[in-house]
Amino acid sequence: MFAGKTTALINRVSAHEGRLAVAVKSSKDERYGCHWVVTHDGRCMRCYTADSLAQFKELLGPAYHKLQVLAIDEAQFFPDLAEFCNRAVDDDGKHVIVAGLSGDFRRRRFGQLLDLMPLADSITQLTSKCAFCSSNGLFSLRLVDAAGPQALVGGDEKYRAACRRCYLQHSDTVQ
Protein backbone atom coordinates (compact mmCIF):
# COMPACT_ATOMS: atom_id res chain seq x y z
CA MET A 1 0.00 0.00 0.00
CA PHE A 2 1.06 3.61 -0.55
CA ALA A 3 3.51 2.56 -3.27
CA GLY A 4 2.05 4.70 -6.06
CA LYS A 5 0.10 1.96 -7.86
CA THR A 6 -2.79 4.22 -8.86
CA THR A 7 -0.39 7.02 -9.85
CA ALA A 8 1.49 4.58 -12.09
CA LEU A 9 -1.82 3.37 -13.55
CA ILE A 10 -2.92 6.92 -14.42
CA ASN A 11 0.53 7.70 -15.89
CA ARG A 12 0.44 4.60 -18.07
CA VAL A 13 -3.04 5.39 -19.34
CA SER A 14 -1.88 8.96 -20.11
CA ALA A 15 0.98 7.51 -22.18
CA HIS A 16 -1.68 6.06 -24.52
CA GLU A 17 -3.06 9.49 -25.42
CA GLY A 18 -5.08 9.33 -28.61
CA ARG A 19 -6.22 5.77 -27.99
CA LEU A 20 -9.65 5.00 -26.55
CA ALA A 21 -9.02 4.17 -22.89
CA VAL A 22 -11.38 3.34 -20.04
CA ALA A 23 -10.73 2.65 -16.36
CA VAL A 24 -12.64 0.39 -13.99
CA LYS A 25 -12.39 -0.19 -10.26
CA SER A 26 -14.15 -2.50 -7.88
CA SER A 27 -17.45 -1.36 -6.45
CA LYS A 28 -15.97 -2.28 -3.04
CA ASP A 29 -13.81 0.85 -3.21
CA GLU A 30 -16.12 3.73 -2.34
CA ARG A 31 -13.47 6.03 -0.84
CA TYR A 32 -13.62 8.76 -3.50
CA GLY A 33 -17.04 8.17 -4.99
CA CYS A 34 -17.98 5.53 -7.48
CA HIS A 35 -16.82 7.24 -10.68
CA TRP A 36 -13.25 8.20 -9.82
CA VAL A 37 -9.90 6.51 -9.49
CA VAL A 38 -7.98 8.82 -7.14
CA THR A 39 -4.36 8.79 -5.99
CA HIS A 40 -3.31 9.57 -2.42
CA ASP A 41 -2.02 12.94 -3.64
CA GLY A 42 -5.32 13.84 -5.32
CA ARG A 43 -4.79 13.04 -9.03
CA CYS A 44 -7.89 11.50 -10.51
CA MET A 45 -9.33 9.78 -13.56
CA ARG A 46 -12.96 8.97 -14.33
CA CYS A 47 -13.86 5.30 -14.18
CA TYR A 48 -16.59 2.72 -14.16
CA THR A 49 -17.29 0.57 -11.12
CA ALA A 50 -18.35 -3.06 -11.12
CA ASP A 51 -18.49 -6.14 -8.92
CA SER A 52 -16.80 -8.23 -11.60
CA LEU A 53 -15.04 -7.56 -14.88
CA ALA A 54 -17.70 -9.57 -16.72
CA GLN A 55 -20.26 -7.14 -15.29
CA PHE A 56 -18.08 -4.23 -16.47
CA LYS A 57 -17.93 -5.65 -20.00
CA GLU A 58 -21.69 -6.12 -20.00
CA LEU A 59 -22.16 -2.57 -18.71
CA LEU A 60 -20.13 -1.19 -21.64
CA GLY A 61 -22.02 -3.27 -24.17
CA PRO A 62 -20.92 -2.71 -27.80
CA ALA A 63 -18.62 0.14 -26.69
CA TYR A 64 -16.29 -2.50 -25.20
CA HIS A 65 -15.24 -3.57 -28.70
CA LYS A 66 -14.08 -0.02 -29.52
CA LEU A 67 -11.83 0.13 -26.46
CA GLN A 68 -8.10 -0.02 -27.04
CA VAL A 69 -6.76 0.45 -23.51
CA LEU A 70 -8.33 -0.87 -20.31
CA ALA A 71 -7.05 0.21 -16.88
CA ILE A 72 -8.05 -1.88 -13.87
CA ASP A 73 -7.53 -0.39 -10.40
CA GLU A 74 -7.85 -2.27 -7.09
CA ALA A 75 -7.57 -5.44 -9.17
CA GLN A 76 -7.37 -7.74 -6.15
CA PHE A 77 -11.12 -7.31 -5.64
CA PHE A 78 -12.19 -8.73 -9.02
CA PRO A 79 -13.01 -12.46 -8.78
CA ASP A 80 -12.64 -12.96 -12.55
CA LEU A 81 -9.44 -10.94 -13.03
CA ALA A 82 -7.14 -13.57 -14.57
CA GLU A 83 -9.64 -15.04 -17.03
CA PHE A 84 -10.96 -11.62 -18.08
CA CYS A 85 -7.51 -10.12 -18.65
CA ASN A 86 -6.30 -13.15 -20.58
CA ARG A 87 -9.30 -12.96 -22.93
CA ALA A 88 -9.19 -9.16 -23.20
CA VAL A 89 -5.58 -9.31 -24.39
CA ASP A 90 -5.46 -12.56 -26.37
CA ASP A 91 -8.94 -12.62 -27.90
CA ASP A 92 -10.03 -8.98 -27.95
CA GLY A 93 -6.68 -7.27 -28.64
CA LYS A 94 -6.90 -4.88 -25.68
CA HIS A 95 -3.92 -3.28 -23.95
CA VAL A 96 -4.65 -3.99 -20.27
CA ILE A 97 -2.99 -2.13 -17.39
CA VAL A 98 -3.58 -3.59 -13.94
CA ALA A 99 -2.90 -2.10 -10.50
CA GLY A 100 -3.56 -3.85 -7.23
CA LEU A 101 -2.25 -5.72 -4.24
CA SER A 102 -0.84 -9.23 -4.56
CA GLY A 103 -0.74 -9.85 -0.81
CA ASP A 104 -2.94 -8.95 2.14
CA PHE A 105 -2.18 -7.67 5.64
CA ARG A 106 -1.53 -11.26 6.78
CA ARG A 107 1.06 -11.63 3.98
CA ARG A 108 -1.17 -14.10 2.14
CA ARG A 109 -2.25 -14.15 -1.50
CA PHE A 110 -4.87 -11.50 -2.22
CA GLY A 111 -7.15 -12.05 -5.19
CA GLN A 112 -5.88 -13.17 -8.58
CA LEU A 113 -3.10 -10.67 -9.27
CA LEU A 114 -0.39 -13.33 -8.91
CA ASP A 115 -2.23 -15.46 -11.50
CA LEU A 116 -1.56 -12.73 -14.09
CA MET A 117 2.22 -12.94 -13.78
CA PRO A 118 2.76 -15.81 -16.23
CA LEU A 119 0.37 -14.12 -18.68
CA ALA A 120 1.77 -10.58 -18.53
CA ASP A 121 3.95 -8.86 -21.13
CA SER A 122 5.59 -6.82 -18.38
CA ILE A 123 5.38 -6.52 -14.59
CA THR A 124 6.32 -3.63 -12.35
CA GLN A 125 6.30 -4.31 -8.63
CA LEU A 126 6.20 -1.10 -6.62
CA THR A 127 7.17 -0.71 -2.98
CA SER A 128 6.46 1.99 -0.46
CA LYS A 129 8.48 3.40 2.41
CA CYS A 130 8.06 1.79 5.81
CA ALA A 131 5.96 4.09 7.98
CA PHE A 132 8.15 3.24 10.97
CA CYS A 133 11.77 3.29 9.72
CA SER A 134 11.69 4.45 6.05
CA SER A 135 13.12 1.19 4.66
CA ASN A 136 11.32 -0.47 1.74
CA GLY A 137 7.73 -1.00 2.86
CA LEU A 138 6.94 -4.38 1.39
CA PHE A 139 3.99 -5.33 3.58
CA SER A 140 0.62 -3.87 4.60
CA LEU A 141 0.12 -3.62 8.35
CA ARG A 142 -3.55 -3.32 9.30
CA LEU A 143 -4.14 -1.02 12.25
CA VAL A 144 -7.79 -1.95 12.89
CA ASP A 145 -9.81 -5.17 12.98
CA ALA A 146 -6.77 -7.42 12.59
CA ALA A 147 -8.95 -10.49 13.14
CA GLY A 148 -11.45 -9.29 10.54
CA PRO A 149 -12.01 -10.19 6.89
CA GLN A 150 -9.31 -10.08 4.23
CA ALA A 151 -11.00 -7.28 2.29
CA LEU A 152 -11.31 -4.04 4.22
CA VAL A 153 -10.98 -1.01 1.97
CA GLY A 154 -9.12 1.89 3.53
CA GLY A 155 -6.17 4.24 3.49
CA ASP A 156 -3.74 5.42 6.14
CA GLU A 157 -6.49 5.41 8.75
CA LYS A 158 -6.52 1.59 8.55
CA TYR A 159 -3.15 0.55 7.10
CA ARG A 160 0.56 1.37 7.18
CA ALA A 161 3.31 0.20 4.86
CA ALA A 162 5.97 -1.72 6.78
CA CYS A 163 9.32 -3.38 6.11
CA ARG A 164 9.71 -7.00 7.23
CA ARG A 165 11.31 -6.11 10.58
CA CYS A 166 8.72 -3.48 11.48
CA TYR A 167 5.84 -5.63 10.22
CA LEU A 168 6.91 -8.46 12.52
CA GLN A 169 7.49 -6.08 15.42
CA HIS A 170 4.20 -4.19 15.11
CA SER A 171 1.87 -6.95 13.93
CA ASP A 172 1.95 -8.48 17.43
CA THR A 173 0.81 -5.23 19.03
CA VAL A 174 -1.96 -4.60 16.48
CA GLN A 175 -3.43 -8.08 16.36
Q: Are 141 and 171 in contact (CB under 8 A)?
A: yes
The closest of 65, 84, 82 to 22, measured between CA atoms, is 65
Burial class (CB in 10 A: 0-12, 13-18, 19+), 62: exposed
Regarding beta strands 95-98 and 44-46, do their DSSP bridges make them parallel or antiparallel, or are they unpaired? unpaired
SS3 50: strand
Q: Is 74 a catalytic residue?
A: yes
Chain centroid, CA 52 distance in Å:
14
The closest of 128, 127, 132 to 143, measured between CA atoms, is 132
Catalytic residue among 17, 30, 58, 74: 74
Q: Tell me which residues are annotated as active site.
A: 74
